[in-house]
Structure 1
Amino acid sequence: MNTSPLPTTWPTRRLEAVIFDWAGTLVDFGSLAPTQIFVEAFATFGITLTLAQARGPMGLSKRDHIRTLLEEPSIRAQWQQRFDATPGEQDIDALYQRFMPMQIQKVGDYSQPIPGAVETLAWLRAQGMKIGSCSGYPRQVLDVLLPLAAARGIAPDHVVAGDELPAGGRPGPYMALANVLALKIGDVRACVKVDDTTPGIEEGRNAGMWCVGISLAGNEVGLTEEALGRLPPAEVDALRAAAAQRLYAAGAHVVIDSIADLPRALQEIAQRGGEPSAQ
């Protein structure tokens, strides 16, 4: 991944704020914490999920994530066979209640900043930019994660949890726009949404923002930094290309390997003409 020095100059277009996702974007290289817990929570009900299935709806609020998994035909068929009934709202509630304490217990194990995150946030502040964030994590989970991340240098100016807005979560624009309100940004076109999931990119586009996708460090590849480093370069290139294709299809304006590359991406956006919705 790109480890070039942070730029010291800024083009003419002034960007005012960056709104980040959390797992796979700021912390938790590979977005492993939520994925593994979904597998383990479903297993307690006798339902087998692959990691790829668990990753599929990543970026949604966790309750919506569970709902979407239960709509997947093979998972739905397992549930029907085991319980002799199709899954309903009470089953979503039961899975969510099982998931929550498991996620709260484990999220701290995945609070390590992604390499380059601390330096990039410091660079953004040096440019006078505001830093927002939002997550599919419920507030109870973020209440555990946030102080651990802050102690390691990751402390955005504002945080919105996936379960605290009446309007709902991704791919709707609501969490991104809640950051705009809290940060007092006058123009959504001066904001950049950074996310490693397709619903997160769709959220930013629906909010009228520029969008930067994260490929190698995020959910779309889903590997630890160590596992990624053991792969042959050609395989890494293939994973990068496949992830970028999905993120561009969701509406990303730029796709980068990780948050370490964000200053370069912001300079590219700042040099572009036109508006986010037209590109």
Structure 2
Amino acid sequence: MIVLNGELVSKDKSLIPFNNRGTFYGDGVFETLRLFKGKALFFENHYFRLMSGMRIMRMLIPESFTPEYFEKSFTDLISNTNFENTDHLRVRISVWRKEGGKYTPNSREVNFSIVMEPLGSSFENKETCEVELFKDFYIYADLLSNQKTIDKKVNILAGIFAKENSYDDMFLMNHNKMIIETISGNVFLRKDNIIKTPPLSDGCLNGIMREQVIDQLKKMINYEIVEETITPFELQRADEIFTTNVIKGIQSISKYRKKTYSRDAATELLSLLKEKLF
């Protein structure tokens, strides 16, 4: 079962017009959440990021789009998909503008869907994660690149490159050829006790887990967190690199080219995060 425009429908009957603007123009936004025992983690942050993305895309936000509505939708989906005994769930909210028009839409009203699937476990920092630098295309640094829009061509092409060349992930760069993120996570780089992450002005995603990790690091006396541009040359000089998102939590990068990295800060942060959330 999924929620499609406010109604519970089975997946095989969830017909969406072929000419929807999400398919035709990438005219939409989305939000991915992790649920633990039926409760969305960092829900308020996700909700406001979704509302912000819709406003930036100049979409009409339905009056029904309240926090209570989405929380009830999650509960209804859990009940109707037999996930009551599944502790860890992934939810995706997709919003796209109603069909009609060419580049200029006929309407600012939206359609939306909510889908849910089980996750195997809580956050897990895998032992190996080899990453390479994606140089075929770049992300332009502006307000749109901070949002979860459905137009993710660079991420998609980087994912294909990684799969074809047996890498676990790829570093993505902005138009100034500075490191901003990986395919699906924000980047943190540690040298000695200083941990750096790119500022939003460099074009990285305004990640929910990025915000949580920055807040946690500010409370820790053994590390200093700074938001500064990261050059490709810094990658091989770092002691540690890790990525963050709400599904994986914190993932250490074990290898980039000939350099291997420690996982000290990531291990400590992940332990604190799991203690707080689970």
Structures share fold, TM-score greater than 0.5: no
TM-score normalised over the length of structure 1? 0.25
Bigger share in strand? 2
- Larger RCO: 1 or 2 (CA < 8 Å, sep 6+): 1
Higher Cα Rg, which structure: 2
